[in-house]
Amino acid sequence: MPIAVYRLLVLGLTTLAVAAPLSLVIYQSFLTAPFFDPSAKFGLLAYFFVFNDPDFWQAFWTTIAIAAGMAAIAVPLGALLAFLMVRTDVPGREYLEPLILIPIFVSAVVIAFGYVVAIGPVGIFSTLAKDILGFVPWNLYSLLALIVIAGLTHVPHVYLYSAAALRGLSSDLEEAARVSGANPFRVAFNVSLPMILPAILFAGVLVFFLGFELFGLPLVLGDPQDVLVLSTYLYKLTNKLGVPSYQLMAVVVVAIIAITAPLVFMQRLLLRQAQRYVSVRGKGLKTQPLRLHGWRWFAFGGIMFWLFITVVVPLFGITLRSFVVTWGEGVKLLDVLTLDHYRELTDYPNVIRGIINTLGIGVIGGAVAVACYTAIALAVHRWNSGWTRLVDYLVMVPRAMPGLVAGLALLWVFLFVPFLSPLKSTMVSIWLAYTIVWLAYGMRLVSGTLLQVGPELEEAARTAGANDLRVKRDVTVPLIKYGMLASWLLVFLIFVREYSTGIYLLGPGTEVIGSLLVSLWGTGAIDLVSALSVVNVVMIGVGLAVAVRLGVRLHG
């Protein structure tokens, strides 16, 4: 097979996989009824309905408020955290990094459940506080709490990009400020952080964008107060009219994408800017850590406090809850300890299937997904053509579709295309949805690995007599083997964590832990939810431990 055929095939399939769901959503949004309804006609009826619904606008403004609020919290904290971790001698830096990244890898619904059972009205910490103080000094079910929790759990995202930028700065700039008489925090605010402003700006836009993707936290924490965001509004719309109101959902999806697509594009521009800004790079860079002296333990305490609130409280809460019969005021821990919830898991065949499916989608699905990402990356690798730009933009498109939305769009594709329908209730549908949703992420992992292959290694094979495809098979792929393995591990982690993409595809045979958790939470089965959450966290923990052990960089 000549290389041109290979490229055509790969690009054609990628375009199809990306464009089909998107165009179906847009098409559906202009119909007056679901696309399978014979009475469906073209029209703007659905747009009129949604844009005249006060709930939609309420959800829209709430989403903006949450996205802005969480960026306002996550950006300064994340940048400061990066400064402390990268540029100073905070104790235990090397052990802290994987802990800091935990909120990225743990499912947001699990964290949300954790907060409910830990600091909800009758949560473990709430009852403790009530015993001591006589009242509960916080209210979990408020917009403010939602913003604070969303902000704190997104600190690692800002941390990652700020830390990467800080690693590219020469430390003599900071030493000069220190010698001039600035204390470490003045150095951070006057020298280091201003220098990485473009990276911080990028992270800010990223967090704002992630605010529109937020689903698990507002679903769990906003529901009791009827706080709706766009994604939960979309989710509730399913049941709003009693009949499948696909046209309305399509309009909401179009509205969400209309906001997220420019944000994705903006991120791309900003990232390029940020990379240009860091002029000093590579070898010979002095990275002497800044000595904090007396501030060392103060800074360490600050990081620990953040970790306690963001990681320990929810994970401890959900773990403890999974081992007790009940919880409330006056309950003594030793009286209620039990393993029953884990035993009960086995009583539900769908839960058992969910656990097996989750492992399967992580291990096998992850491997096949990495193979697909590699196939696309190889198609454009060393291809001197304008088409590579098209691929760049193509893989960005799914990024603008939050998981919930992409899952819905994929569901419609499976309903719409006759020969695909039988696959709808198999794990193939879940796998396809996951692979498309994480296309941009996976491509970044694989392309990053490919960048490290020296072009002369491939040219040497060309002159020895190997054609393009042979070069890829004999030289390029063997050389990126370890990078692909690392990508597999990271994709495993996100596939196991994923909860929103599978929600609309959930059915007998397509259960995964994430979407099961959301649906079980709706039925109030808190015992089951806690136990299943812990199972999910353990899977991710094992994956993370393996990754750290193998020295895989946790950020692509």
Partner 1 sequence: MVELTVKDVALRLGDNEILKGVTVSVPAGQVVALLGPSGSGKTTLLRAIAGLETPYRGSIAIGERTFFDAARGIELPAEERGLGLVFQSYALWPHRTVFDNVAYGLKLRGVSAPEIKTRVEKTLSQIGLGHLAARFPHQLSGGQQQRVAIARALVYEPPVILLDEPLSNLDAKLREEARAWLRTLIVTLGLSAIHVTHDQVEAMAIADRIVLLDSGVIAQEGSPTGLYNEPTTMFSAEFMGSNNRIEGKLVENTGARATIELFGERLSGIGRTKTAIGEKATGIIRIERVRCASSPGPNRLKMQLKAPMYLGERWELVLARENMTVRAYASVPMDPGEYYVEFPSDALWVF
Angle at alpha carbon of residue 194, lines to 191 and 199, rounded to 5°: 130
Q: Considering beta carbons, is residue 381 or 497 the nearer one to partner 1?
A: 381
Q: Considering beta carbons, is residue 399 or 472 the nearer one to partner 1?
A: 472
Find the shortest distance in angstroms from Cβ 382 to partner 1: 11
Site for partner 1 in 468-497 (CB under 8 A): 468, 470, 474-475, 478-479, 481
Q: Residue 518: CB partners within 8 Å, gap ≥ 6?
A: 109, 216, 219, 499, 500, 503
CA–CA separation, 453 vs 456, rounded Å? 9
42 forms beta bridges with: 31
Find the shortest distance in angstroms from Cβ 371 to partner 1: 19
Site for partner 1 in 442-461 (CB under 8 A): 454, 456-457, 459-461
Find the shortest distance in angstroms from Cβ 480 to partner 1: 10
- Tell me how crowded residue 242 is: count the other CB atoms within 10 A of its CB: 7
Q: Considering beta carbons, is residue 458 or 498 the nearer one to partner 1?
A: 458
Q: Considering beta carbons, is residue 423 or 477 the nearer one to partner 1?
A: 477
Find the shortest distance in angstroms from Cβ 454 to partner 1: 7
Q: Considering beta carbons, is residue 312 or 479 the nearer one to partner 1?
A: 479
Position among 39, 52, 463, 523 found at the interface with partner 1 (CB under 8 A) = 463
- Tell me how crowded residue 410 is: count the other CB atoms within 10 A of its CB: 28
| DSSP-derived 3-state class of residue 168 | coil
Position among 261, 309, 466, 548 found at the interface with partner 1 (CB under 8 A) = 466
- Give the phi and the psi of residue 169 in degrees, each rounded to 5: -95, 140
Find the shortest distance in angstroms from Cβ 478 to partner 1: 5
Q: Give Cα 111 distance to the centre of its chain.
A: 13
The residue among 216, 242, 488 whose CA lies nearest residue 362 is: 488
Residue 291 DSSP code: P
Site for partner 1 in 251-310 (CB under 8 A): none
Stretch that binds partner 1, among 130-138, 203-211, 404-412, 465-473 (CB under 8 A): 465-473
Site for partner 1 in 121-160 (CB under 8 A): none
Position among 465, 508, 524, 551 found at the interface with partner 1 (CB under 8 A) = 465
Is 363 a binding residue for partner 1 by CB under 8 A? The answer is no
Q: Which two tokens stand for residue 84?
A: 């402390």
Q: Which two tokens stand for residue 390?
A: 């098209």
Find the shortest distance in angstroms from Cβ 517 to partner 1: 42
Position among 268, 444, 462, 473 found at the interface with partner 1 (CB under 8 A) = 462
Q: Considering beta carbons, is residue 9 or 457 the nearer one to partner 1?
A: 457
Q: Give Cα 488 distance to the centre of its chain.
A: 16
Q: Considering beta carbons, is residue 286 or 481 the nearer one to partner 1?
A: 481
337 forms beta bridges with: 324
Find the shortest distance in angstroms from Cβ 372 to partner 1: 23
Site size for partner 1 (CB under 8 A): 19
Find the shortest distance in angstroms from Cβ 474 to partner 1: 7
Q: Residue 545 corresponds to which amino acid?
A: A
Q: Give Cα 381 distance to the centre of its chain.
A: 27
Q: Considering beta carbons, is residue 52 or 463 the nearer one to partner 1?
A: 463
The residue among 501, 506, 23 whose CA lies nearest residue 250 is: 23
Q: Residue 174 corresponds to which amino acid?
A: E
Q: Considering beta carbons, is residue 258 or 457 the nearer one to partner 1?
A: 457
Q: Which two tokens stand for residue 205?
A: 């836009």
Q: Give Cα 218 distance to the centre of its chain.
A: 15
CA–CA separation, 293 vs 511, rounded Å? 53
Q: Considering beta carbons, is residue 241 or 460 the nearer one to partner 1?
A: 460
Find the shortest distance in angstroms from Cβ 452 to partner 1: 12
Find the shortest distance in angstroms from Cβ 465 to partner 1: 4
Position among 287, 346, 421, 467 found at the interface with partner 1 (CB under 8 A) = 467
Q: Residue 236: CB partners within 8 Å, gap ≥ 6?
A: 228
| DSSP-derived 3-state class of residue 467 | coil
| DSSP-derived 3-state class of residue 285 | coil
Enumerate binding residues for partner 1 (CB under 8 A): 454, 456-457, 459-468, 470, 474-475, 478-479, 481
